[in-house]
Amino acid sequence: MGNEVLNKRVKALPLKVGDLVLKKTWQKPNKLHPNWHGPYRVVKEVVSGMYRLENLERDPFSNRGNVDHLKKYYQ
């Protein structure tokens, strides 16, 4: 199977306002450092694939989260 066929089968999870997500970490000082931080709450979808986030204490983030760098958090 080619990559085109495999990519058609992947379905992105739609995020809704109020969902809890984990955000990907970019700074990795060593391989034991965690890759994901969170959970954070989705406040608003700014544009398709871009979300405004806040932590659980309702403090908003200054930057937005791209859907490629977020994954849904299940309790």
Residue 7 CA from chain centroid, whole number: 19
Residue 20, token pair as written in the block = 């809890």
Tens of pLDDT along 8-60?
Answer: 655 566 889 999 999 888 776 677 777 888 899 999 888 878 889 999 999 88
User: What integer pLDDT is reported at residue 12 of this predicted model?
Assistant: 61
Give the domain 15-72 fold.
Answer: SH3 type barrels. (2.30.30)
